[in-house]
C-alpha cells in the first residue's frame, strides 16, 4: 500500500493565514492521499478540523518546527513530505506534481512557481546560487516559469522532499532559527548527490511577510536574515571570503537605513552581521554521498 504524503505547516503569528493555508491543502483536488500536521510555534492555534495540531510552545524556529512535524507524520506512516509556510496557499495540482517528480530516481526535492497574492505576479520560479557573493537569486521571468528543470535552489515556503532523504540528512538544521535553513538543506541535498527539481505545476500563492514583516523590512526580519547568511557554505576559507563580502554589504545597507532615519533597522542589520561573523567557524553539517 502506498504511503500517504505528509504535509507539515509551520504556524507562527495570527491564526488566520494558517487556517487559509490548511483549507487550501485539504481542498487541493489531486488524487494524492495526505496527512497534515500543523506545528504551533505561537501557542495560539485552536484545533483545526482534519489536521493534527502539534503544540510547540518553545518556538524553535521554522526549520526545527518543520522537523517536529515531519517526525510526527513519519510516526503516522507517511512517506514523502511537503513543508509549507503558514502564509502559503497551494494551487490545484500541487501535490500531484510533487509526487510525480519525486518518482524521478535522481530528484531529492521539488518546488514550483510561487505567486504574490494577486495570483499573477511571479515571486519565484526556482533559483540559482551566486557563489562569489554567497546569495540566492530567484528566477522571476515568465520565460523560466513554464520550464520544468533542475535548479540550484528551492525556497522552503512550499517544498516537497523525499522522506527518507530528509531524515537521512537530519532534516533542517536547527541552528537556523529563521531564514537560510532552506538554502542550507538544498546545498546539503546537492552535496549528497540529489537534484533539486522545479515543476511549474507545483504552484502556490505566497502571502509574504504575514508574520515576520519582511515586506516592510521589520527589524526582526533584517536581523534574522543577516544572522545566518554565511553558515550554509563551505569550506571555512570560503566563509571567510563571504564574511568580507557581507561586511561591505551589511555596512552599506545599515548606512542606507540610517540615512533614511530608520536607525532601528540599521541596528538590526549590524546586530545580525555581528552574529554572523561570530559564528564563522560553524559550517554546514557533513553529508554522505548517496
* 237 and 176 fall within a common domain: no
Question: Which of 182, 206, 230 corresponds to the end of one domain?
Answer: 206
145 and 201 co-located in one domain: yes
CATH code for the domain in which residue 66 is found: 3.90.550.10
Clarify whether residues 182 and 221 are in a common domain: no
Which of these three, 174, 206, 238, is where a domain ends?
206
Residue 248 located in a structural domain? yes
Q: Are residues 196 and 266 in the same domain?
A: no
Q: Do 177 and 105 share a domain, yes or no?
A: yes
- How wide is the angle at C-alpha 137 spanned by C-alphas 84 and 86, nearest 5°? 15
Judge whether 287 lies within some domain. no
Which pTM was predicted? 0.95
Do 155 and 61 reside in the same domain of the chain?
Answer: yes
Could you report how far apart the first and last alpha carbons of the chain are, in Å?
26
| Amino acid 201: pLDDT | 96
pLDDT at 238: 98
Domain residues for 170? Answer: 5-206
Based on the fold, state whether residues 191 and 233 are members of the same structural domain: no
Q: Is residue 138 a part of any domain in this protein?
A: yes
Domain assignment present for residue 290? The answer is no
Which pLDDT does position 213 carry in this prediction?
Answer: 55
Residue 53 lies in a domain: yes
The predicted pLDDT at position 46 comes to 83
Separation CA 45–CA 162 (nearest Å): 28
Distance CA 50, CA 35 (A): 9
Number of domains in the chain: 2
My answer on whether 193 and 221 are in the same domain is: no
- Judge whether 39 and 54 are in contact, CB under 8 Å: yes
Q: Is residue 50 situated within a structural domain?
A: yes
- 48 domain-assigned: yes
In a domain, 289, yes or no: no
* 223 and 131 housed in the same domain: no
Same domain, residue pair 148 and 195: yes
Q: How many CB atoms lie within 10 A of CB 282?
A: 13
- Assess whether 250 and 108 both reside in one domain: no
Q: Which residues contact 169 (CB under 8 A, 6 or more apart)?
A: 185, 188, 189, 192, 285, 287
Do residue 170 and residue 250 come from a single domain?
no
Distance CA 112, CA 84 (A): 12
Look at residues 150, 185, 206 and tell me which one is the last residue of a structural domain.
206
pLDDT computed for residue 194 by the predictor: 98
Ordered per-residue pLDDT tens for the chain, 290 residues: 589 999 999 999 999 999 999 999 999 999 999 999 999 999 899 888 899 999 998 999 999 999 999 999 999 999 999 999 999 999 999 999 999 999 999 999 999 999 999 888 899 999 999 999 999 999 998 888 899 999 999 999 999 999 999 999 999 999 999 999 999 999 999 999 999 999 999 999 999 866 665 666 789 999 999 999 999 999 999 999 999 999 999 999 999 999 999 999 999 999 999 999 999 999 999 999 88
Amino acid at each position: 500500500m502506498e504511503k500517504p504524503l505528509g504535509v507539515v505547516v509551520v504556524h507562527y503569528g495570527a491564526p488566520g493565514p494558517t487556517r487559509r493555508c490548511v483549507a487550501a491543502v485539504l481542498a487541493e483536488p489531486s488524487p494524492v492521499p495526505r496527512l497534515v500536521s500543523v506545528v504551533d510555534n505561537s501557542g495560539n492555534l485552536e484545533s483545526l478540523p482534519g489536521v493534527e495540531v502539534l503544540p510547540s510552545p518553545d518556538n524553535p524556529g521554522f526549520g526545527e518546527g518543520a522537523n517536529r512535524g515531519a517526525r510526527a507524520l513519519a510516526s503516522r506512516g507517511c512517506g514523502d513530505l511537503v513543508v509549507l509556510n503558514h502564509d502559503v496557499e497551494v494551487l490545484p495540482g500541487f501535490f500531484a506534481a510533487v509526487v510525480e517528480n519525486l518518482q524521478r530516481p535522481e530528484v531529492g526535492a521539488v518546488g514550483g512557481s510561487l505567486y504574490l497574492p494577486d495570483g499573477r505576479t511571479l515571486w519565484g520560479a526556482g533559483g540559482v546560487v551566486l557563489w562569489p557573493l554567497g546569495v540566492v537569486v530567484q528566477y522571476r521571468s515568465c520565460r523560466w516559469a513554464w520550464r520544468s528543470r533542475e535548479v540550484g535552489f528551492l525556497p522552503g515556503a512550499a517544498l516537497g522532499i523525499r522522506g527518507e532523504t530528509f531524515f537521512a540528512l537530519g532534516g533542517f538544521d536547527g541552528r537556523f532559527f529563521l531564514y537560510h535553513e532552506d538554502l542550507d538543506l538544498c546545498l546539503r541535498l546537492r552535496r549528497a548527490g540529489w537534484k533539486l527539481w522545479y515543476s511549474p505545476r507545483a504552484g502556490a500563492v505566497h502571502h509574504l511577510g504575514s508574520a515576520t514583516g519582511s515586506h516592510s523590512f521589520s527589524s526582526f526580519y533584517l536581523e534574522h536574515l543577516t544572522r545566518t547568511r554565511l553558515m550554509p557554505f563551505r569550506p571555512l576559507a570560503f566563509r571567510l571570503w563571504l564574511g568580507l563580502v557581507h561586511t561591505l554589504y551589511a555596512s552599506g545597507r545599515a548606512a542606507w537605513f540610517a540615512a533614511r532615519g530608520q536607525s532601528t533597522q540599521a541596528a538590526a542589520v549590524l546586530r545580525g552581521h555581528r552574529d554572523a561573523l561570530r559564528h564563522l567557524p560553524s559550517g554546514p553539517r557533513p553529508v554522505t554521498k548517496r
